[in-house]
Amino acid sequence: MNERLQELNKLLNEAAAAYHGTGQEIMSDHEYDRLYEELVALERETGIILEDSPTKRVGAKPAGRLEKTTHEQPALSLDKTKDVAKLADWLGEQEGVLSWKMDGLTVVLTYEGGRLVKAATRGDGMIGEIITGNAKYFHGIPKMIPFSGKLILRGEAVISYQEFERINHSLPEGEEPYKNPRNLASGTVRLLQWIPDRKVDFHAFTLVLMEGGAVRMPDRFEDQMQLLADFGFGGVEYQPVTSQSIEDAVKAFEQRIPDLEFPTDGLVLTLNDTAYGRSLGTTGKYPRDSIAFKWRDDEFETILRDVEWSPSATGLINPVAVYDPVEVEGTTISRASVHNLSIMEGLRLGYGDTITVYKANKIIPQVAENLTGTGNIKIPEACPACGKPTEIRVSLKSGRETKTLYCTNPECPVKHLGMFSRFVCRDAMNIVGLSDETLKKLIDHGFLHRLADIYHLEEHSSEIAALDGFGELSVKNLLDAIEASRDVEPWRFLYAMNIPNVGRDASKKIIRYCGGTISGFVEKLRYGEDLTRADTIGEVISQSVYDWKQDHARQEDFADLIDRMRFKESADTGSEMLTGKTVVITGSLVTFKNREAFIQFVEQNGGKVSGSVSKKTDYLVNNDALSNSTKNRKAKELEIPILTEEEFRNLVLGN
C-alpha cells in the first residue's frame, strides 16, 4: 500500500506541476480525477498522508522565467463533487449563486487608484507569476476603473473554441497543435513575448478585496458581480439558487453546454451572503464559501476496431481511435483523438480491445481505459497521405518525454490542404464550394499546386466535371464563386496569404497601417519598413511578415494573385451609429448566422459587445422580450431598451 501511495503522489504531483506550472497537460482530467479519488480513499484506509500529498496542496510551484509574486490573499482551489444532491446538502437553507466554472487559467488582478498595477497567475495559490504586460491585451480587463482605492479580484483567462481552431490552423508547419483551449489559454497567458493576434477573454468570478475607496464592497455575491460588470470587467453567467431549485438549475446549465462559445469543466456554487461565507473560513486547502460541481463522466464499453492516422497541415500525424458506435450524452460517437504516440502506448491499444469511452466536459469524445490492452497497433512508417517516410519526434515536457509522429515530406498534399483551406475560408476569400473534401480532390488530381492555381481552374473545367461528385452545373457554380471572390477587401486578402502569426486582427491592423490598401502594404515591404511602428503589431508578427517576404515561391504566388484581384474598400469601418455604445445579446439568434456575426456587426458600427447587463449597457438584444431571464430582468430594472434582432438592425442601419 505504501508503494501505491508513493506512486500516486508522484504521478499526481507531476501532472499538477505540468498544468499549473507550465500549462502543459500530461494526463487527462478524467485520469487525474480517477487517480486523485484513489489516493483519497487510500489515505483514509491507511491513515497515512505523505508530506507532499496533493490532497493537502493547492496547486504547484510556478515554473519558467516570469517574475514571481506573493498573493495578498491565498487563491485556494475549490472542493468538488459530481453529486447534485451533495450541492443541495451543502447549501442547506442558504441562498446560493450557481455559475459556469470556466476552463482556462486563473488570473489575479490588482487595481490601485483606478489603474491596473498587477496581474498574476494563481500559481500554487500562494505564489504566482506576474503577467501584467500580457493582461492589457485580454478582452474584459479595463485599463481604468472608477474606484480610487485598492481592488483585488480573480477571474479566468480563456480562449474560445473558435479561436482555438483558428490558432491551431494558423500554426507554422511542423509546430505541434494545442490539445485543447485550456492548454492554449495557459500557454498564451504566460508568453514571454505576447502575440497580439491571439484573443484571450477574461471572466471575473470573485471580488477579493475593496478598501480605501468611496464605494463599499457589497455583501451579496450577486451585487459584487454586478459591480464588477459596471466597472467594465467581463463576467461569468450566474443564477441564484436554493437547495430546492438547484437540481433544475444544474440541468438547465448542462443543456446549454453544446452551444457554449467557451470551454467549461463544470459549475461553481457560491454562498450569496459573502459575509457569512467569509465567517466560515477554510479547511486549509479549500474555502468553505464555495464548492465546484464537475460533470460526471459516464463511461461506456465498446470495441476498438482500428486506429486511423490523421495527417495535419503542420505535418503532425495524430492517432484516432475508431470503435463500435455508442450513444453518449445524447449523441452517437465512434471516434476519438488519442493526441500522440505516448498516450496511445500508455493505453496499450490493440485491434479488438475492449475500451471505455466518455465525453470530456460532455463535449469531446475520449478513450478512458483499455480493459484488455493487447497493444498490437503498429506505428506507420509511411505517411498515409503521401506515402513518404514518417519520423517519431521526442520532446521533453515537464520532465516527461512526449512522442509524436510527423510526415517528413515538405510537399505532402495535406500540408498544402491547410494552406488552401485557409485561403478559401469565410474570413479570407470566402469561396463557397471549395470544401476541404473538394480541395483534396483537386490537389490529388494535380489541379492545385499553389494558391494562384485556384484562378486557373477554368482551364480544367471539363476534367473536373468528369470527377466523382462533380458535374457541369457544380463546376459552373464553383467557377462563379471563384470569380466573385476577386472582389475582396484588402485585409481579407492578406489574411488569406496564411502568413504565420498573422490572423484576422493582425491583418486588419497591418492594412490600416498601410493606408487601407494592398499597394500600401507592398510598398512598405519593398522598402523594408518596420511594421512594429504600427499600433499593437509586435516583433513576432513583424518578423513573420519579414520571413514570409523572403520566401521566393510565396512572393511569386502573392504577386500573381494581386494581379487577379479587384480590391474594394474595407467594410470594416461600418457606420458610427454605435460609437461608444455597449450591447448585450441573449437568447437564440434568428437573423444573424451566429454570435460571431452579431459581434462583427456591432464592432463594424463602432460598438462593443459585453457578456453582462450593467449600467453601461445601452441595448439588450433578445428576440423574446417577455423572457424572465436574469439579463431581461436586469435590463428592465435599469430601463435599458430590449430590442429584437430586427429592431436592432433597423436602428443601426437607419431603416
Cell 482555438 belongs to 164
Rounded CA-CA distance 102/257 in Å is: 12
**What are the residues facing 547 on neighbouring strands?**
none
Residues contacting residue 589 through CB under 8 Å, at least 6 positions apart: 595, 598, 623, 645
Residues contacting residue 236 through CB under 8 Å, at least 6 positions apart: 99, 100, 102, 156, 203, 204, 205, 225
Going from the C-alpha of 327 to that of each of 305, 323, 332, the distances in angstroms are 17, 12, 4
Alpha helices in 17-120, H assignment, sequence order? 29-46, 84-91
- Dmax over CA atoms of the chain, in Å, equals 78
Angle of helix 504-513 relative to helix 539-549, nearest 10 degrees, comes to 80
Grid coordinates given for 602: 456591432
Rounded CA-CA distance 235/238 in Å is: 9
Residue type, 495: Y
Going from the C-alpha of 159 to that of each of 181, 184, 263, 361, the distances in angstroms are 6, 7, 8, 16
Of 581, 614, 609, 583, the closest CA to residue 229 belongs to 614
Tell me phi and psi for residue 259, to 5 degrees.
-100, 0
Between CA 89 and CA 220, with CA 75 as vertex, the angle to 5 degrees is 55
- Contact yes or no for 486/564 (Cβ under 8 A): yes
CB-based burial, 502-512: b 16+ in 10 Å, e otherwise:
bbbbbbbbbbb
- Contact yes or no for 347/320 (Cβ under 8 A): no
Rounded CA-CA distance 203/256 in Å is: 18
Q: Report the DSSP pairing between strands 331-337 and 316-328.
A: antiparallel
Residues contacting residue 601 through CB under 8 Å, at least 6 positions apart: 574, 592, 649, 652
- Contact yes or no for 19/31 (Cβ under 8 A): no
Measure the N-to-C terminal CA separation of the chain; round to a whole number of Å: 75
Rounded CA-CA distance 285/125 in Å is: 9
SS3 content of the chain, % helix, strand, coil (to 5): 35, 25, 40
At 316 the three-state DSSP class reads: strand
Tell me phi and psi for residue 202, to 5 degrees.
-105, 130
Tell me phi and psi for residue 465, to 5 degrees.
-60, -25
Among 101, 508, 509, 524, the active-site one is: 101
CA dihedral 485, 489, 493, 499 (to 10 degrees): -150
Tell me phi and psi for residue 163, to 5 degrees.
-65, -35
Residues contacting residue 99 through CB under 8 Å, at least 6 positions apart: 205, 236, 237, 238, 239, 267, 268, 270
Rounded CA-CA distance 128/118 in Å is: 11
Residues making up the chain, counted from first to last: 655
101 annotated active-site: yes
Grid coordinates given for 254: 448542462
Catalytically active residues are 101
